[in-house]
């Protein structure tokens, strides 16, 4: 079986978890996150020569991820059902305590993910990457926005999200049977 | 000293909101008490920080590397295969068609005579001007190596669909006489998806029996899942119909015949790939199955309903229901675009929605337009569905979900 260039594996593997985490925050569900990661790898592979000269491959990979997400590129065509908030995958790794807390957290996450779908893709992408822990300087490099524009957009995105959450607070987002 | 909105934004931007000194925290609270925007922003940031990110799937690196290695070639292959699939289906014009009518899913040996797929008189659809000249047995023998098209006609209570089918040989004696016919067979699908205990229930002519049984023994299925486990499924029925097709467009063009031959070879390769996946499944090597499916998808593209179906099956076994739903949705979408839509993914998909309490989605899935429907129409439902689908609809009705209560229909 042929496989990707071994050097590519060495360059990408150390950053894959960071890439996946950001992709999950961008997309809000695991399968779309995986699609983003795969798309990023496919694009990065075609630029292997450039990749090996970079000092920080990670921020370059994240920059591609940001573009992939904001441009709405999907490797696989999705059925329209995917777009609804109901379909966000709320399952996670298994370090949860009590079932009650877990249910509570799950509901909060569903609300958050539902609210995020109402932001435009750029706002959502900025929030995702910022919360993932990147500095403003790193965000500037990924998004090619100036610091002032970036700060203003981040603030507006947070305000909008907070208000969506407040407005949505009492509406259960689980599928209810009539 | 009071804080400004800019100060709040700066705290959030620099990831300091969770570790403020008490005095600073008090000043933040004072500002938030007076500023609705900053309250919203602060709340949003906390919610975002609380979102837990699942662990990266262990196979993602391998899959990403796999995807990376054929960035350009995949679409080209996909386009070519679409043609190939078409010619497999159409290959019947080159020789004789073997139609496989699967009547599966109930344990008794009775085939309901009301099933829409009940074979009609064997010769009813065999035109008299057969493409096989009866007076030329050598040509008939040569043609016998050509693709006979396998057409899966779903009927009745289908809940088991063969994934890998070996084409039956059209018996030369039957070809020479221009004879068509049906064989109804009964068999078990093992927990590994292989076929055992093949027996003939009835046939229109004994000449077809051996060939039908030999082919069927080679078929592979996705084993039935019961309570999360793969189980043996006994008493599955299938009807294999041997049919001479008399279309006028007999391929005189050798290139066309060559293409048909190539189609058969590629179909074999494809079936071989699926067999590898099934063998790994039998060994509980789920990761191996997924890698094999990924590899096949990279080669054959995303327009293969049975690959998506297999993903759905695999994720269901692994209790990864969100991904299973995603995969089955793809299977449905692809199937709807195919020349012969299959209802294969419908029931598993509906069951998954049901298990996740998305009852409306479950019913909508069962009633999705454009897919073949068979069996009797349940009361109050405007479509005819398989028994399994009907049972699910009854369960939904018990929960108060019916066609009338569906939102947005």
Residues of B in contact with A13 (CB under 8 A): 61
Say whether both B278 and B367 belong to one domain: no
Count of the separate structural domains present in chain B: 4
Residue A55 C-alpha, separation from nearest chain B C-alpha, in angstroms: 21
Mean pLDDT for the stretch of residues B203-232 = 86
pLDDT reading at B360 higher than 60: yes
Mean pLDDT for the stretch of residues B358-380 = 65
pTM: 0.45
Say whether both B289 and B355 belong to one domain: no
Strand partners, B217: none
Nearest to A79 among B295, B329, B405 (CB): B329
**Residues of A numbered 128-147 whose beta carbons fall under 8 angstroms of chain B's beta carbons: which are they?**
128, 130-131, 133, 135-136
- B383, HSE (Cβ side, Cα atoms, 13 Å): 19
Rounded Cα distance, B58 and A27, in Å: 19
- Here the ipTM equals 0.81
**Cβ of residue A49 closer than 8 Å to a chain B Cβ:** no
B94-103, B116-125, B344-353: least confident range: B116-125
CB contact under 8 A, B54 and A91: yes
Q: Give the per-residue pLDDT at B9.
A: 94
Say whether both B309 and B209 belong to one domain: no
pLDDT reading at B267 higher than 60: yes
Say whether both B76 and B108 belong to one domain: no
- B216, HSE (Cβ side, Cα atoms, 13 Å): 31
Residue A103 C-alpha, separation from nearest chain B C-alpha, in angstroms: 14
The vertex-B95 CA angle with B92 and B98, nearest 5°, equals 55
Q: Which of B271, B309, B304, B274 is nearest to B292 (CA)?
A: B274
Listing DSSP states for A112-178 in one string gives HHHHHTTS-HHHHHHHHHHHTT--HHHHHHHH---HHHHHHHHHHHHHHHHHHHHHHTTS--S----
Could you say which architecture CATH assigns to the domain A6-86+99-168?
Up-down Bundle (1.20)
pLDDT reading at B173 higher than 90: no
Say whether both B338 and B403 belong to one domain: yes
pLDDT reading at A65 higher than 80: yes
Q: How confident is the model at residue B1 (pLDDT cuts 50, 70, 90)?
A: low
**What CATH number did the domain enclosing B315 receive?**
1.25.40
Mean pLDDT for the stretch of residues B52-61 = 82
CB contact under 8 A, B40 and A178: no
A1-15, A126-140, B177-191: least confident range: A1-15
**Cβ of residue A70 closer than 8 Å to a chain B Cβ:** no
Mean pLDDT for the stretch of residues B29-39 = 93
Break chain A into its structural domains and give their ranges. 6-86+99-168
Residue B270: which domain range? Answer: 63-91+251-301
**Cβ of residue A106 closer than 8 Å to a chain B Cβ:** no
Say whether both B216 and B328 belong to one domain: no
- The number of beta carbons lying within 10 Å of the beta carbon of residue A100 is 8
Mean pLDDT for the stretch of residues A160-169 = 87
Helix (H) / strand (E) containing B279: helix B254-282
Rounded Cα distance, A58 and A51, in Å: 10
A144-158, B49-63, B181-195, B365-379: least confident range: B365-379
Question: In chain A, what is the straight-line distance between the N-terminal and C-terminal CA atoms, in Å?
Answer: 52
């Amino acid at each position: 079986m042929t496989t990707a260039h071994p050097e590519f594996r060495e360059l990408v593997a150390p950053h894959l978890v960071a890439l996946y985490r950001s992709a999950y925050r961008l997309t809000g569900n695991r399968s779309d996150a995986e699609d983003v990661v795969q798309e990023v790898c496919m694009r990065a592979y075609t630029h292997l020569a450039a990749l090996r000269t970079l000092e920080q491959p990670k921020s370059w990979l994240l920059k591609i991820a940001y573009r992939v997400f904001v441009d709405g590129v999907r490797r696989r065509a999705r059925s329209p059902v995917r777009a609804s908030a109901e379909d966000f995958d709320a399952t996670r790794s298994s370090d949860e305590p009590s079932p009650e807390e877990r249910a509570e957290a799950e509901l909060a996450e569903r609300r958050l993910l539902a609210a995020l779908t109402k932001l435009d893709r750029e706002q959502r992408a900025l929030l995702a990457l910022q919360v993932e822990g990147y500095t403003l300087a790193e965000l500037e490099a990924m998004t090619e926005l100036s610091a002032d524009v970036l700060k203003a957009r981040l603030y507006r995105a947070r305000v909008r999200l907070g208000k969506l959450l407040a407005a949505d607070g009492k509406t259960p987002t689980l599928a209810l049977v009539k | 000293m009071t804080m400004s909105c800019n100060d709040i934004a700066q705290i959030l931007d620099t990831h300091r909101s969770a570790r403020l000194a008490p005095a600073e925290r008090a000043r933040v609270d004072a500002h938030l008490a007076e500023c609705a925007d900053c309250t919203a922003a602060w709340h949003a940031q906390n919610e975002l920080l609380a979102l837990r990110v699942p662990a990266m799937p262990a196979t993602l690196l391998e899959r990403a590397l796999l995807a990376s290695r054929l960035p350009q070639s995949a679409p080209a292959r996909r386009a070519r295969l679409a043609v190939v699939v078409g010619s497999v289906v159409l290959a019947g014009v080159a020789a004789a068609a073997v139609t496989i009518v699967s009547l599966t899913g109930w344990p008794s040996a009775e085939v309901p005579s009301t099933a829409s797929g009940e074979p009609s008189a064997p010769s009813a659809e065999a035109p008299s001007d057969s493409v096989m000249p009866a007076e030329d047995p050598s040509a008939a023998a040569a043609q016998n190596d050509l693709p006979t098209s396998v057409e899966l006609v779903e009927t009745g209570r289908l809940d088991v669909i063969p994934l890998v089918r070996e084409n039956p040989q059209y018996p030369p004696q039957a070809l020479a006489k221009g004879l068509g016919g049906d064989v109804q067979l009964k068999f078990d699908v093992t927990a590994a998806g292989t076929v055992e205990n093949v027996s003939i229930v009835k046939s229109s002519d004994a000449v077809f029996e051996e060939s039908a049984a030999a082919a069927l023994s080679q078929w592979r299925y996705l084993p039935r899942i019961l309570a999360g486990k793969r189980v043996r499924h006994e008493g599955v029925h299938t009807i294999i119909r041997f049919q001479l097709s008399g279309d006028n467009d007999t391929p005189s063009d050798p290139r066309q015949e060559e293409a048909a031959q190539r189609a058969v070879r590629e179909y074999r390769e494809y079936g071989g790939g699926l067999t590898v996946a099934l063998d790994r499944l039998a060994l509980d090597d789920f990761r191996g199955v997924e890698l094999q499916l990924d590899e096949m998808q990279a080669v054959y593209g995303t327009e293969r309903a049975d690959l998506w179906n297999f993903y759905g099956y695999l994720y269901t076994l692994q209790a990864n229901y969100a991904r299973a739903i995603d995969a089955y949705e793809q299977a449905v979408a692809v199937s709807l675009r195919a020349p012969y839509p299959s209802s294969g993914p419908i029931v598993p998909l509906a069951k998954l929605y049901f298990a996740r309490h998305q009852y409306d989605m479950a019913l909508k899935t069962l009633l999705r337009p454009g897919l073949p429907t068979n069996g009797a129409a349940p009361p109050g439902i405007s479509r005819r569905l398989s028994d399994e689908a009907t049972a699910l609809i009854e369960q939904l009705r018990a929960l108060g979900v019916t066609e009338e209560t569906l939102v947005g229909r």
